[in-house]
Amino acid sequence: MATMRPSERAQLAMALEVCAGPKPGNVDRCHDYEDTRLEHFLASAIFVKPALERAERGEGGVGELIRDAVKLANVHAGGNTHFGAYILLFPLILGGDIAGAADIIRKTTVEDAVLFYEAFGLTQVRAHPTDDLDVNDPESVATIRREGMTLADIIAYSAPRDLVCREWTEGYPRTRRAADMLRAAPAAKGAIPAAFIELLAAEPDTFIAKKLGDAMAEETTRKAQEVRDGTLGIEEFDEWCHEQGANPGSTADIIIAAIYVALGEGWNWES
Amino acid sequence: MATMRPSERAQLAMALEVCAGPKPGNVDRCHDYEDTRLEHFLASAIFVKPALERAERGEGGVGELIRDAVKLANVHAGGNTHFGAYILLFPLILGGDIAGAADIIRKTTVEDAVLFYEAFGLTQVRAHPTDDLDVNDPESVATIRREGMTLADIIAYSAPRDLVCREWTEGYPRTRRAADMLRAAPAAKGAIPAAFIELLAAEPDTFIAKKLGDAMAEETTRKAQEVRDGTLGIEEFDEWCHEQGANPGSTADIIIAAIYVALGEGWNWES
C-alpha cells in the first residue's frame, strides 16, 4: 500500500468522517439536512485540494490557507461544511503533527488574523451574540491591526465559547484522545461513531450551544453519556438530535482532525 | 460559483455516482459489499487525482493514464472500484467532450494497448473465459506487439461482451443518453438512480454477465424494465440484486461518464 500525502490524508479524513454513521445529529450516510447533503461534504473535500497541497508544500500562512480553502469550497451552495475542520487541519499539515501544529499556532501573525476574518465573512458561521469582533463590521479588522492581535489571539478570544478554538489554545487534547481511541479500536467499522459519542459525552458541543443555546448543548451531552453507558440507543439519540436540529458540528470537526492524526500514525481505516 | 476543472469534475462524478441511491445491486449510501465499501469508492476518487490532472494537462496517453490511475487507486484494499470508469473518463478528459474522445480513441497506439494490459493485470477484473488475450499470459503482450494491435483494437475486440468497451467503439451513445436524462430531470435528487434504471432496462449489464452468466444479466434487465414501468418497487429490486450478488458495475461506470459530461454541459447537481 502506497503512502498517503498529507493533502490526501486530509481529504480521506473528511470523507471517512462524513460517511461514518450513525453519527447522531449530523450529516452521515443515512442523513442529509435540507440544504446540506452528504454530497456537499464530499464536494468540499474534493475542491479544497489546492489549499491542502499548498499547506503540504509549506506555502502560505494559516490565515491565508483557511481563507483560500473557504473560497474553494464555496463551489457548492451547501453552506459551511468544513470551516472548523480547516482551522484544525492546516496547522497539523503545516506543522507535521500535534506538537508541530502548536508551533505553527504560536507563530501566527496579525496578517493571519486579518485573512481569517476575511474567510469567516465568506461563511455562514454563527458568531456568538456577545462577540465584540463582528466579522461584518469593517471596524473589527481595524481593531485587530491597531491592537496587534495575531490569529492565535483571535482564536484564544473565542476559545471559551468554541471547542475547535480550544483545541488551538490547549494543544489538541480532544483530537489526541479521539485519535488514540481510533487506533485502539478493534476494527475501523464503528470506531468513528464511538469516538464521536465519547467526545460528545465529555463536553457540550459549542456549535449546538451557539445555534440552540447552552441548555440544549448540555442536554445533548447528557444523552450522549446515556448512549456511552448503554442506557440509550444510538439510533434513538440520532432521531432525537434530528428532531431538535441539534447537530454537533464542532465535535465532527475534531473527529476529522483525529482521523487525520490517526491515519498519519498508521491507523488502518479499512480494518 | 467557480468553474470546475475537468479533474475535479471527474472526482465529483465518481462521488455523486456512488452516493446516489437506491442504485439496485451496487454500493451506494445504504449498501456496502463485504470487501468493497462506500469509503473505498471515495478513496479511489481522491487518490486518482494525479492521473486526472495529467490528463487535464494533456500529458500521457490513454493506456498510461489508465495504468497510473489503477496504481494510484490501489492505495486501498477494496478491490477494483473504478476501472471501467477510468476507461471512459480519460478519453473524455483528453478530448474535451464526446466528439474529442472519439478522436483520442482513434489515435491510440500499440504502446497504449501494452500499458492497458499492465493496468488490467493490476486489477481483479474478470476476463471473459473465451478471451484469447489473457492478461496473465506474457504471450498476450507479444501477440499485441506482433499484430500491431492498438488500444482501440483491443477494446473493439472486447466490445461484444463489454458495455464499457462498446462505448468506445460506438461513440459513447449510452453516456450521451444518460447525460441528457440528467440534464432533463426536474431535480438532481433522484436523477442518477432514474438514469441508472433506464440504462439497465435498455441492455443487460455485462459486468453481471461475466460474473453470473447471461441469463442472470438478462433477468436483471427484465426487472429493471419492471421498475421503469412501475410494476416493481426499486427497493424490492435492490434487495433481489443483493441476494443474487448481481451488481450492474458496467452500467455504473457509464453513469459516471454521463455525470462527467452533464456537469461539463452545466448540469446543476445541487438542484
pLDDT bracket for residue A124 (50, 70, 90):
low
Tell me whether residue A2 is in a domain: no
Alpha-carbon torsion (A204, A123, A9, B49), positive or negative: positive
Distance, CA of B110 to CA of A97 (rounded, Å): 47
Q: How many CB atoms lie within 10 A of CB A168?
A: 25
Chain B 70-109, residues with CB within 8 Å of chain A CB atoms: 72, 74-78
List the single residue in A with minimal CA-CA distance to B28: A29
pLDDT at A34 over 80: no
Tell me whether residue B233 is in a domain: no
Q: DSSP 3-state assignment of A31?
A: strand
Residue B40 C-alpha cell reads as 473505498
Name the residue facing B46 among A2, A11, A40 (closest C-beta). Answer: A11
Q: How many angstroms away from the CA of A184 is the closest CA of chain B?
A: 20
Domain that holds residue B101: 6-186+256-264
CATH of the domain at B131: 1.10.4200.10
Total domain count, chain B: 1
Q: Which chain A residues are Cβ-neighbours of B47 within 8 angstroms?
A: 4, 8
Q: Which residues lie below 8 Å from residue A75, measured CB to CB, with a gap of 6+?
A: A43, A47, B1, B2, B4
Q: How many angstroms away from the CA of B9 is the closest CA of chain A?
A: 9
Tell me whether residue B196 is in a domain: no
Question: Taking phi first (over 0 means left), then psi (-120 to 50 degrees means alpha), and beta for anything else, what does residue B148 get?
Answer: left
Task: Chunk chain B into consecutive blocks of 10 residues (it has 271) and report each block's average pLDDT, rounded to whole numbers.
Answer: 86 96 86 86 96 97 96 83 95 98 97 92 64 65 92 94 96 98 93 97 96 97 97 95 94 98 95 85
Question: What is each CA distance from B243 to A180, B6, B179, B246, in whole angstroms?
Answer: 38, 37, 30, 8
Tell me whether residue A1 is in a domain: no
Tell me whether residue B220 is in a domain: no
Tell me whether residue B179 is in a domain: yes
Q: How many angstroms away from the CA of A240 is the closest CA of chain B?
A: 21
Tell me whether residue A175 is in a domain: yes
Distance, CA of A235 to CA of A22 (rounded, Å): 7
CB–CB of B220/B208 below 8 Å?
A: yes
Name the residue facing B2 among A29, A49, A75 (closest C-beta). Answer: A75
Name the residue facing B46 among A12, A29, A74 (closest C-beta). Answer: A12
A2 vs A162: which has the higher pLDDT: A162
* B16 CB within 8 Å of a chain A CB: yes
The tens digit of pLDDT for each residue in A63-106 reads 999 999 999 988 777 777 899 999 999 999 999 999 999 999 99
| pTM of the entire predicted model | 0.94
Distance, CA of B244 to CA of B217 (rounded, Å): 11
CB–CB of A252/A27 below 8 Å?
A: no
Q: What is the pLDDT of residue B193?
A: 95
Tell me whether residue A269 is in a domain: no
Q: Which of A117-121, A250-254, B28-32 has the highest mean pLDDT?
A: A250-254
Q: What is the pLDDT of residue B136?
A: 56
Residues B163, B164, B167, B173: what is their CA dihedral angle, to the nearest 10 degrees?
A: 70
